[in-house]
Amino acid sequence: MDTEQPSSSPTEAPERPLPATHLYSVEYPGYVQPSSVPLAVRNLGGTAKLENAFKRTAARSEALLELNLRYGNPYAHPIPGDVVGTSNILIKVTKRKRRRVDDDGVIGDYIAEPLGVVLKTARFRTMADYQFQPDMSDPIARLRLAMDRMDVDAIRQYTIPEEKEDYVISSPTGDDTNIDPGLMKQPATRSNLRLFPPPIFSRQGIPQNYNFKPNSASMATTVVNEETGEERKRLINKGRWKGYGPATVTFGDLNIPENPIQAVQLARNQVKHELLERVTQLVQDRPVWTRAALYNQFSPAEVREIHNSKVLLPLVCYTFQDGPWRDTLIRLKYDPRKNPEARFYQRIYFAMQIIQCQGSPLSPGDKKEDQRPRTSLEMIESEEDLRETCDVGVEVLTHKLPPHPLQERDGWYSAHAFERIKIVLRHKFFSLLQGYVATQEECEALLEEGGAGKRTQTTRVKKLKYGKHNMAKGALRPEDAAAARLQAALERNARNLQASRREKLGDHSLTPESRP
């Protein structure tokens, strides 16, 4: 059985030709009525400014508009706008009202008529800047207005006003304030600093959606204020990583930590027992360590374990944040301020910038460590022995510099003695750069009064004239220093070999210079 389907043809909208009129529009961020259109055009810079901005051949600087919501105020920051190309159609909608006959109701007919095509649109999408209005009766403000009006007489009559210390003046408490005078415990005051606003306050022009929300792992907990007993709610992330560090005190604190904090005590089972015992034994044998010197007592894997645990060091030591033992690891219950023997563990800081040449043997880009030039110490001792410590020990400093009354800057040494120590250590440092080890006699000579002791032959014959220095003051370039170290090592080995041969032959009277 055939059923006849009803024929349905969609009703097509009638075609309308687009008008040839070209229009421009302004998206004004405010309420505009027919009576306020002149004010809106004035705030945009006037008709001439709009015509230049909408020109087809307008430059980029001319296509920028500024909206002055406080017209005529030079201290009010305008809102910048942009002219963008659009393809919008301006449609005029007309509503005609007519009354029905049956129920006396009112119905309307709508008629849409295109008026033109909008080719360009001025938009103001930037947020308004902060506004600050200074006192317009101030001489600086009057000078600013005179410069805008090109008032030559007013500009020539300007003089710098006398500076007064009336930086805070009383403020009236009448109808021009929003504070009830009865609620004010003291007379109202306002600032009189004569501050003038900068060209712009905020660089944030486009609003952003921050989308603040709590962490998914956070939980609401109740926290009690110990002083007031007041309870308040806080969101705490239960899954956060808890880091620990050695307790820190200042040099002026009377007491020092004697035991680890409770949080560290509770995390004691998280560290390796054997590693903790070794660190405890080291700080028992020596009460003060630098972090680098302590790490050098362990293998790289053990150092990584100590560094990552964050609990091991706080269990056995604390640190000073200032003073002669700043940033050192000190055994709990040990106070270096009460023991003059702690002067041997004071830290000395040198500000010496060392710059290495590109492509030199010590260049960071050279990854082959076995090709690195070795110093004289490395030829005598193995690298494993040198890795066991990074402390600088000078025996002459221990015997010839007695303790001095304790002070925060130089510890158990006087200021003069501390400077002499720096002279000796600086000499040892530059001696290594030159390729030899400073002798005991040189150090003792430098420790004499004023550090003006006699120089040995070794320091006198060392002259650095191998080109422009580019390392610390008085040092050679890396390639020259490497060559000097190698030459010094060869000469020293030759002298030792000759001395050993003379001892075997029993010839102690003749020197290489006196032999025929």
Residue range 303-326, pLDDT digits in tens:
998 888 888 999 999 999 988 999
The alpha carbon of 434 is separated from its chain's Cα centroid by a whole number of angstroms, namely 38
Structure confidence at residue 453 (pLDDT): 42
Structure confidence at residue 371 (pLDDT): 38
Q: Is the pLDDT of residue 54 over 70?
A: yes
Q: How far is CA 50 from CA 81, 128, 197, 320, in A?
A: 12, 20, 28, 67
Q: Is the pLDDT of residue 18 over 60?
A: yes
Structure confidence at residue 494 (pLDDT): 76
Render pLDDT for 357-382 as a digit per residue (tens, 0 to 9).
Answer: 333 333 334 434 333 333 322 322 33
Mean pLDDT to the nearest integer, 198-225 = 83
Instruction: Judge whether 346 and 413 are in contact, CB under 8 Å.
Output: yes
Structure confidence at residue 100 (pLDDT): 63
Structure confidence at residue 25 (pLDDT): 93
Structure confidence at residue 122 (pLDDT): 92
Mean pLDDT to the nearest integer, 418-435 = 80
- Helix (H) or strand (E) holding 399, with range, is helix 395-400
User: For strand 247-249 and strand 218-224, is the pairing parallel, antiparallel, or unpaired?
Assistant: unpaired
Which of 8-17, 229-238, 332-341, 498-507 shows the lowest mean pLDDT across its residues? 498-507
Furthest-apart CA pair in the chain: how many Å? Answer: 147
Which of 6-10, 90-94, 417-421, 466-470 shows the lowest mean pLDDT across its residues? 466-470
- Looking up tokens 């191998």 gives 466
Mean pLDDT to the nearest integer, 70-89 = 89
- Helix (H) or strand (E) holding 353, with range, is none
Structure confidence at residue 38 (pLDDT): 93
Instruction: Judge whether 138 and 64 are in contact, CB under 8 Å.
Output: no
Q: Is the pLDDT of residue 427 over 60?
A: yes
Distance CA 137, CA 132 (A): 15
Q: How far is CA 305 from CA 267, 301, 312, 387, in A?
A: 15, 6, 9, 18
Render pLDDT for 117-163 as a digit per residue (tens, 0 to 9).
Answer: 999 999 998 888 998 888 888 888 888 889 888 999 999 988 888 88
Render pLDDT for 105-117 as a digit per residue (tens, 0 to 9).
Answer: 666 788 888 899 9
Instruction: Judge whether 336 and 344 are in contact, CB under 8 Å.
Output: no
Q: Is the pLDDT of residue 428 over 90?
A: no
Distance CA 379, CA 490 (A): 11
Mean pLDDT to the nearest integer, 272-276 = 90
Q: Quote the tokens at residue 73.
A: 């105020």
Q: Is the pLDDT of residue 282 over 90?
A: yes
Q: Is the pLDDT of residue 274 over 50?
A: yes
Q: Binning pLDDT at 50, 70 and 90, where does residue 9 land?
A: low
Structure confidence at residue 451 (pLDDT): 46
Mean pLDDT to the nearest integer, 349-362 = 47
Structure confidence at residue 508 (pLDDT): 44
3-state secondary structure 259-320: CCCHHHHHCHHHCCHHHHHHHHHHHHHCCEECHHHHHCCCCHHHHHHHHHHCCCHHHCEEEE
Q: Is the pLDDT of residue 330 over 90?
A: yes
Residues 6+ apart with CB under 8 A from 69: 30, 43, 76, 78, 79, 128
Mean per-residue pLDDT over the chain, rounded:
76
Structure confidence at residue 413 (pLDDT): 86
Q: Is the pLDDT of residue 472 over 70?
A: no
Mean pLDDT to the nearest integer, 443-457 = 57
Distance CA 191, CA 281 (A): 63
Q: Is the pLDDT of residue 458 over 50?
A: no
Which of 252-266, 346-360, 496-510 shows the lowest mean pLDDT across its residues? 346-360
Which of 52-66, 248-262, 318-332 shows the lowest mean pLDDT across its residues? 52-66
Q: Is the pLDDT of residue 353 over 60?
A: no
Render pLDDT for 36-49 as a digit per residue (tens, 0 to 9).
Answer: 999 999 999 999 99
Structure confidence at residue 238 (pLDDT): 75
pTM above the 0.85 mark? no
